[in-house]
Amino acid sequence: MQKLPILTFANQAGLDMLETTLVALQDIKLEKTLDDHGRKILCSELPQIMQQGFVCLQGGICLSSMGRPVSYERSVAWKVLNDEETAHCICFIFINWSFV
């Protein structure tokens, strides 16, 4: 069984976009924040993120923890390595986001 990804950290802009707090962030499921299109794109690009180290993704819609739609112009995902040079996590940045 594959472990589901968890959200572990966000800066204030990320917390604002997701309408949550740092403490409540881990209760938000990644698959609940991305729409179907966003989930499909992320799954298809995951091998490139793991091999190349990053990927630029097209804009889309995600949902805040309150269920409000958030549009973003573009996003970037990149792999973060630990001290052993293995994948520790994947980070995201959402560019020009706003509530719809």
Q: Which residue has the tokens 């800066």?
A: 11
The 10s digit of each residue's pLDDT in 60-96 is 999 999 999 999 999 999 999 989 998 888 899 999 9
Please state, in angstroms and rounded to a whole number, the distance separating the CA atoms of residues 44 and 23.
Answer: 30
Q: With CA atoms as reference, report the closest residue to 7 among 42, 38, 32.
A: 32
Q: Quote the pLDDT of residue 42.
A: 85
pTM, whole model, 2 decimals? 0.81
**pLDDT per residue as tens digits for the range 15-44:** 999 999 999 988 888 877 888 888 888 889
Q: CB–CB of 8/28 below 8 Å?
A: no
